Structure 1
Amino acid sequence: MNQLPIQNPVKTINSREVAEMIGKQHKDLLRDIRTYLSYMLKANQEIKKGERKIAPSDFFIESTYVDSQNKVQPCYEITKLGCEMVANKLTGEKGVLFTAQYVKRFNEMEQTIKPNSTKLLLQTALKHEEEIEEIKTDVQVLKNTMRIDGAEEFQISQKGREKVIECLGGKDSNAYLKISKKVFSQFWRDFKKYFVIPRYGDLPKKRFDEAIQFIEEWYPDTSTRLEIKALNEQQSLDFGEGA
């Protein structure tokens, strides 16, 4: 645990301790943290000039420790906000237990701050309030620029495929056999054009629900629908003649 003096009252929990709390290998937690930091870096690159950028140190602070073999190894000091980010990725009992643990630890650390004057107490409170507002802004910017994750990307891919097959009349339809490639291309072209992205995996996370609705409402253009209808009607006629 890293407990800094009153001059710099930022409290943290070491990543090794957090890894133990959540039952994860430390190397895997380091990988996750570096992924979060890469998202922040990407978000900062997209922030317009003059707007305040995300401060990664508000979440994770690079550090090191000496292992049992006397080798210097990387780790991170994780702030309360960083712990919240880690907790948000956990589900079920594990997430609840970790949240209870880190909240209790930070509360205990906060109780160790004993300002020696009313003036110092007021200064500290004001500084914390300003930092909270800055952090809220950072989190909002991160939410606005974060891309969909792998599970959401897979869901969009599957739902898009299902929608196109439905529009074609099923996988056994004449239209599917003859023009499925064309209709799939049209669907993804329309999807990327609507959301103004180069590939569907670049969809902003905050627009995921909108993307699902887009898929549900999408249909091929008029000429393509007529072509699908004609092909499937021809298939019906062919079956009739065969009977």
Structure 2
Amino acid sequence: MNNNLQVIEQNGQYLVDSREVAEMTGKRHSDLIRTIKGYIDTILTDAKLRSLDFFVSSTYEDNKGEVRPHYLLTKQGCEMVANKMTGEKGVLFTAAYVTQFNQMEQNLQNFSNLSPQLQQMICLEQKQNEADQRIGKLENNLGINAYQQTVIQKRINKRVYELVERYGEDAEGKRRMFSSIHRNFRDAFAVPTYKDLRKLDFEEAISWIGTWRPLI
């Protein structure tokens, strides 16, 4: 179980990603989503309450590039989720979100005591770090380049010929082996062809090819 909980700032609110909450509490994210939807339905029955004060609906892209729903929880939203939890996981989650939210609030207070010049410098540095993180994420999710495609192709060829020689396969056996490694590669990395591999998965793919064996 992950005991770290990251609090982010968005539009003046401190928020926690429901995926992190699910991981930390040992719940399936889909189950937590259903629970939060139930809370929102209940909140909406009271005209004095706003669901956005507890849960902010959002989306993200999974590893396949598909858009998935998730929620961003405010401190009140975390409290609502934590109140229904019992045992060690509930205690650890409560301790984590209280600690992190308090730290963020303390940081904000310390920031407000700084001179305007220092505040501006810190804001610029934070924006640069955020930009660098976004660029890094985009680069990692890009497909491999032409050179990396060639490397993958050569590693596949090398591995197949190694196994053909080891097992004494004939031309038909070699053809089946090529077909098998490409099929297994697509399944292992959830891509249409090796050319569609993510840059992030390149090193893992090289290692995978080096240990691949045909299923008997």
TM-score (normalised: structure 2): 0.47
- What TM-score, normalized by structure 1, do the two folds share? 0.42
